[in-house]
Structure 1
């Protein structure tokens, strides 16, 4: 790992232990670094199980939010929330011991079901405040305020996600003028500015009914606006719905004669059907939900590059693939993957054509749904460290003792859980975190420029980048860019189509899958985390202090969000040593996390302000990116750590007799084999750095 970033990055990191360590070289070849993903069930993904692991992925946590809400709302007090077409107030709600606020709530369109739900989870005072807030918003909209600036209203804290789902749906169905959102476990409402815009194009009544229809998401349902004689006005409505909700619904104008013989044109809205993978023929509903799971083996290839190649071979989108984590490039890696719209039979047919690209697939089997990032137990590593020797200036001649000491130290004391350099890329002129910062600041043109910044070499990829960087000619650069650089080609194609303009820059980023877009922002947040961890250790060392955040274990039977499990250490708890260092976490920046209340929290604020992110909402609307943040343990431990020492020549000759006894003569060309497991999102290179006390 070379380049200006790696030098400064690695030098700033701290160590846990004070053992001497040793020197060695890693990743001499991909075969020296073998990574095998560990499934959530605990077995390696290379193991062919007859029972499909993905059967266990049908839990509600893997369903889209609106499906979870719909499921959560069924059978509350023996009733199912009706869809938009059924919300006609066909039965009377119970009105005993209800004041004026509740009466007004119960009198809305979807009376009984929605009233009963809100009454279940909201106090009378909150219902009053909600009604007053909704009336204020509606009055502001009616007064033609250009931009409603009413503040948010809190409905309280709901640690139970089922209660939050009920309130989300009930409030939106009852008050289309409002939208709901969650911060940590607090549920808030604010004005629905999309409602305001649509009500100016149609009417308040129609806007309310449209948003009720939209939120209900009843399959195969449609919504029709009142007939409109003005084509220009209909076009405005079409454009509004396409711009705001184009991925969810589609619109079409229909003409029919009334009983008076006059031709009338109305706009009808319906939810989009899922397209086929080729886009040339329609699949049945059953076929469109096909998922195939497999184990991906790749060599000297990035995960996203492998996905890009597979998507081009199969004729599907890169976004149709899902995976639990991104694996190293210069390595042989095995990981679980699921692809949508492809049958197992079709997946098996392409096996023979993949080997030339460093890709193999195995354990192909049907699946029921996608997998998501982090859905793994960890990774198993088998590593070869070559050119083993003592550090310069180390008087010891017993290399075996140094290795044994280092392995024991890391087993007992762990390592600092930094993000490894591969998280940020190995380029010298451009780093992923630099692109991520510009995206957070919504500097789209600069982000594109950074993305296409060439390195100081003349391979075809950098020749194409250099041409675009110097000329701005997207079409010419596209002709030069190799076919396997799918990400770069998609962005250049969008820039060629939409031009070098604000729209073109946004479209170029939207042309690549969401997982690729957000990767760059995560890289920047990872850089901040690493620097915060170094500051935390330099300031307080390896002891738990007041203001630290710790991740507490909750009762397994109690539903709680991650934020509910994060606790701020008090002075009393520090004095009594209530918590251990391996419970301390630091936040990855985002909009739904809290920061430590000690000096580390101040450091975060200063670092973000220095980067120009003091007002950052950690939402990039134009790119549909939402960064809630998360928490990461500072200290981690390897599991099942073992080592063997060989002669280099013995390994090449497949004669792998161990050298493990100090009294045996030290090998002339020592080579170290390490085997261990790490939790998900932990880096083997960082663990090795702690063990060897050297930068690679």
Structure 2
């Protein structure tokens, strides 16, 4: 697909898993053509988070809010050209390892959740899915005997790994329960779930048990409205009997769209015993930090630009905001955020101001801590591709067949897991990875000049940058620099104060939030990863060879998250390409023990990083590195093709 403003230097070595011809098209004609919705660590879209807002602390009367955001529907406007709208989930695992395998195909209706892929191997997934299907079959059959006892998932000595598997299984199969004997993990049918299904639908029971397992702070769960008091009483008794120590349930009345009063049962987690006494002891002696979580919707704004507006309106620093990831600028995006030192009531006061700047704030609620980069499961994308054409204009193959072939191949074969163009920027003379390299080499003045390096075309931003390069007059450049260029203005203010020397430039970089400073270094490491992926695929293709790094739970431990493939394992085809990872450079990772590892060494040496520790003490930056799977598989991928007044959906 065609994109605008990309640097050929970053993407001229791309490789492809499939050999289909594909098609041409344009994306991001407008922000509404590219909608990104973050998926939190519990697998929920951040537009569907449910929260509790307390009117008074410890008060039994709480304001229960259910806010489901409806992302703007980008309307298809097909004229003589075809338009395709795609939607899919691209998932990560704990922000560190990407999911590795396609959906397990089974005759059963169940579809294993992506949460399982990073924590158990394919054979265990298949056994677990079959066991789960058998449980469903037994429960749904009036004559079948319930002789399903338990299923072993294997030995897992590491406690943290067991915890991940417990959560992944229960979120995927809420009608199963997990338990441990010594270091061996087992699953068995959840009889409490079966009992609840006698009072509610399976859909409600699924959601309720996922809610219980997730234990999200300030979250709540509401059953469907229920006019039968006797039935509500039965549900109350069930919850109190089975989970009374963990949660409390209350009936709330609310009016529907017709003004009729409806009653529903809402469940929330109880406060831990002793927590209120602890607050009273510390009250007045130690001030507790206040954190407020919310979902930020932004339209055609950079993340830092949005944070700058919000911090100015709230009277706090940009560094008081935390988030799981930076989202695209030319797009409509929804992401979770947390702001420190701001109450929910204060945040609500600026809702009208934020909307004027292209932002909307949703799901405001209290939380206890900030977010970390990578603290998400993935993102849901809704993308419109316009002006669809065949690569060969004279081709007799219709565009519909081209798209069907492309979608099928992506679903079944996956794609190489490259970092996208937004990671590197659109600058012609300088891109984000160039700045990251300068920061790693601690060339602070060079890094500042690279960020302020103008492109060849004229506009207010490039005119201001050109003035700075010629004069190094930070104050004069500030007067010329447009107000929406937030990071440039932050640097310029610091340089105007501290000077354009090494110390002044260090202070200038420190004036930016930590997430922005580390972003540039991540951009450089991402460029290295992309090139390594292309080199490895060109050299070995889809074959797993000796020296490759693979994720292998049987051999991994807390000190060695990856395994190096041996000659015997290559010969016996012990691993698949789905398990192969490549490292993002950093101080805590290991490199492949084959030609790919040698390539990393030579590539870093060429740019002067042969002895780099990936720690920049002066900027408070530490880069441990991580591992990223070579192949990726989308989930829930579908498309809709529109041309003139006809449409096809697949």
**TM category, shorter:** 0.5 to 0.7
For normalisation by structure 1, the TM-score amounts to 0.59
- Whether contact under 8 Å (1:430, 1:451) holds in the other structure is yes
- CA change 1:32–1:284 in 2 (3 A) is farther
Matched residue, 1:8: 9
- Whether contact under 8 Å (2:36, 2:379) holds in the other structure is yes
Matches within 5 A, 1:98-137: none
Matched residue, 1:659: 648
- Whether contact under 8 Å (2:51, 2:363) holds in the other structure is no
- CA change 1:486–1:287 in 2 (3 A) is farther
Q: CA deviation at 1:647?
A: 2.6
Matched residue, 1:365: 365
Name structure 2 gaps, 5 residues minimum. 54-93, 96-156, 161-282
What do residues 499-548 of structure 1 show as CA deviations (whole Å, max 9, x unaligned)?
12121111111111111111111100100000000000000001111000
- CA change 1:287–1:382 in 2 (3 A) is farther
More strand by share: 2
- CA change 1:497–1:160 in 2 (3 A) is farther
- CA change 1:351–1:554 in 2 (3 A) is farther
- CA change 1:623–1:50 in 2 (3 A) is closer
Q: CA deviation at 1:284?
A: 7.0
Q: Alignment partner of 2:301: what SS?
A: coil
- CA change 1:336–1:368 in 2 (3 A) is same
Q: Runs ≥4 in structure 1, deviation > 4 angstroms?
A: 158-161, 283-288
What is the distance in 1 between the residues matched to 2:370 and 2:385?
36
What do residues 28-48 of structure 1 show as CA deviations (whole Å, max 9, x unaligned)?
111111111111111110114
Q: CA deviation at 1:554?
A: 5.8
Matched residue, 2:469: 469
What is the distance in 1 between the residues matched to 2:347 and 2:302?
20
- Whether contact under 8 Å (1:294, 1:338) holds in the other structure is yes
Q: CA deviation at 1:660?
A: 4.7
Structure 1 vs Structure 2 CA RMSD: 2.5
Matched residue, 1:200: none
More helix by share: 1
Matched residue, 1:634: 630
Matched residue, 1:152: none
What do residues 389-446 of structure 1 show as CA deviations (whole Å, max 9, x unaligned)?
2112662332211111111111000000001111000111210000111111111111
Q: Alignment partner of 2:545: what SS?
A: coil
- Whether contact under 8 Å (1:287, 1:341) holds in the other structure is no
Matched residue, 2:420: 420
What is the distance in 1 between the residues matched to 2:474 and 2:288?
35
Matched residue, 1:333: 333
What is the distance in 1 between the residues matched to 2:23 and 2:492?
46
Matched residue, 2:374: 374
Q: Alignment partner of 1:564: what SS?
A: coil
Matched residue, 2:70: none
Matched residue, 1:37: 38
What is the distance in 2 between the residues matched to 1:33 and 1:428?
23
**Correspondent of 1:575 among 571, 590, 595:** 571
- Whether contact under 8 Å (1:159, 1:564) holds in the other structure is no
1:490 aligns to 2:490 (yes or no): yes
Matched residue, 1:602: 598
Q: CA deviation at 1:572?
A: 0.8
- Whether contact under 8 Å (1:439, 1:447) holds in the other structure is yes
Q: CA deviation at 1:460?
A: 2.7
- Whether contact under 8 Å (1:30, 1:299) holds in the other structure is yes
Q: Alignment partner of 2:395: what SS?
A: coil
What is the distance in 2 between the residues matched to 1:360 and 1:314?
15
Q: CA deviation at 1:658?
A: 3.0
- Decide which structure has the larger Cα Rg and report it: 1
Between 475-484 and 297-306, report the one with greater CA deviation: 475-484
Q: Which has the higher contact order (CA 8 A, sep 6+)?
A: 2
For normalisation by structure 2, the TM-score amounts to 0.63
Q: CA deviation at 1:287?
A: 5.7
- CA change 1:21–1:497 in 2 (3 A) is same
What is the distance in 2 between the residues matched to 1:422 and 1:610?
25
**Correspondent of 1:643 among 606, 618, 639:** 639
- CA change 1:540–1:331 in 2 (3 A) is same
What is the distance in 1 between the residues matched to 2:432 and 2:337?
24
1:591 aligns to 2:587 (yes or no): yes
Q: Alignment partner of 1:374: what SS?
A: coil
Matched residue, 2:615: 619
What is the distance in 1 between the residues matched to 2:462 and 2:581?
40
- Whether contact under 8 Å (2:545, 2:565) holds in the other structure is yes
What do residues 115-137 of structure 1 show as CA deviations (whole Å, max 9, x unaligned)?
xxxxxxxxxxxxxxxxxxxxxxx
1:532 aligns to 2:532 (yes or no): yes
Q: CA deviation at 1:160?
A: 8.8
Matched residue, 1:509: 509
What is the distance in 1 between the residues matched to 2:363 and 2:459?
36
